[in-house]
Structure 1
Amino acid sequence: MSRHHQEDEPIDNERALQQLAWTIQASAGKFKLIWARCNYSNLENRLIERLHENCQIKIHILHLKESEKTLYRAICEESGDDVQALMIVGLESLGDLPQMLTNANQVREEFQKTFSFPIVLWTNDENYQQLMQLAPDLESWGTTRSFAGSPKK
C-alpha cells in the first residue's frame, strides 16, 4: 500500500500545483489567501519554480526575515502597484511565529481591505497546526493546497 502511495505523490503534487496556479490566476486583482502546505524545503523550492513557469501572472516572493514581527507590515513593505500575486516563504525561520500569527489574526480585516492580489503562504504541518490554534479566523479565510513528498525527492 505504501508503495502505491509513493507512486501517486508526483501526480497528486502536479494536480495540487495546477490547482494552485489556477487559483492564483483566477484571483488576480482581488484578495485571496492560500495556504500551501509542504514539509520539505527542497520540494517547496521546486514547486515554486514550477509555479512561476505555469502561472500566467507575475508572482513576487517575500522571504520573511527571522526578526519579522508582523505579517501585515511585511506584506505592506513588499507590495507595490506592480504586485499581481505574492508568495510568502520563511515562516519556519521566524524567531516568534506565535506572536506573528496572533498579530495577523487580530488585523485580518486589514488584509482584505488593503491587498487586492492573491497571497500564498508556504507552511509546514507544524506551523499550520500553530496557525489553526493561534489564528483560527485568519486560517479559515484561506484555501489550502497540500503537497506530499519525501526529503529525498
Structure 2
Amino acid sequence: MISLTSSENSTVNSTAATKRLARAIMVSAGEFSLILVCCNSVERQQQVLNLLTEFSPADIHEILLTPATDTLYTAITTAIGSTQPEALMVRGLESVVAINQLIISTNIMRDEFRKQFKFPLVLWVNDEILSKLVWLAPDFKDWAASTIRFDVVESVSSEPALCAVLGH
C-alpha cells in the first residue's frame, strides 16, 4: 500500500502545480494570456509565490487590489503605466467590496486586455471568486485554460480516511 501523509501529498501537489504555473507563464511570454490560480488561503498564496521564484526565471510583477478597487483594467493600467512586464500577478480580488461590479466590468472590457497587455495575466482567486467569474464574466473566464489549483489540505491525519477510500 502506498501511503502519503497529508503534508507530503500537499507538498507534491503544490510543487507540481507551481511548476505548471511557471510553465504557463513561460509559454505565454510576450503575449496576452489569462491564467487563473485558485487558492483559498492568502498564506498559501505567499508560499506558492516564494516557490514560484525557484521555477520561473520571468520577472513577475505583482499588484494587490484594495477593497475600493472598482475596475480590474484600470487598476492594472495604473499600476504598470506604460511598461509591459514579463508577467503580472493580481492578488486581492477577495478583498474587493464591489466584486460583482468589478467582474462584470472586466467581462465588458475583455477585448482591451488582449489588445493592451502583451504578457500573461495571473489572477489569484478563491472558490467564491472563481464561481462569480463563471457566472458574471463567462466570456473573460473562457480565455483561461484550466484553473491551476492550490488546495489547502487540512492538517488532521488523513491516513485512516485514505485507507478507507483505498479499501484497506
Fold shared per TM-score above 0.5: yes
Counterpart residue number, 1:50: 51
Q: Is the 8 A contact 2:29 2:86 kept in 1?
A: yes
Aligned equivalents of 2:31 and 2:79: distance in 1?
17
Tell me, what secondary structure is at the counterpart of 1:105?
A: helix
Render the CA deviation track for 1:28-79: whole Å, top value 9, x for unaligned.
1000100000011111110011112321110000110111100011111122
Counterpart residue number, 1:40: 41
Tell me, what secondary structure is at the counterpart of 1:149?
A: coil
Aligned equivalents of 2:117 and 2:84: distance in 1?
12
How big is the shift at 1:4?
Answer: 5.0
How big is the shift at 1:120?
Answer: 0.4
Counterpart residue number, 2:100: 98
- TM-score normalized by structure 2? 0.84
What do you get for the CA RMSD once the two structures are aligned? 1.6
Aligned equivalents of 1:81 and 1:96: distance in 2?
28
After superposition, the Cα gap between the structure-2 partners of 1:21 and 1:113, relative to the gap in structure 1 and judged at 3 Å, is same
Render the CA deviation track for 1:79-121: whole Å, top value 9, x for unaligned.
2425110000000100110000000001101100000000100
Q: 1:109 aligns with which of 108, 111, 115?
A: 111
The unaligned stretches of length 5 or more in structure 1 are: none
Q: 1:148 aligns with which of 134, 146, 151?
A: 151
- TM-score normalized by structure 1? 0.92
Q: Structure 2 counterpart of 1:13, which letter?
A: S
Aligned residues: 150
Alignment of 1:79-98 (within 5 A): 79=80, 80-98=82-100
How big is the shift at 1:151?
Answer: 6.5
Q: Which runs of 4+ in 1 moved over 6 A?
A: none
The unaligned stretches of length 5 or more in structure 2 are: 156-168
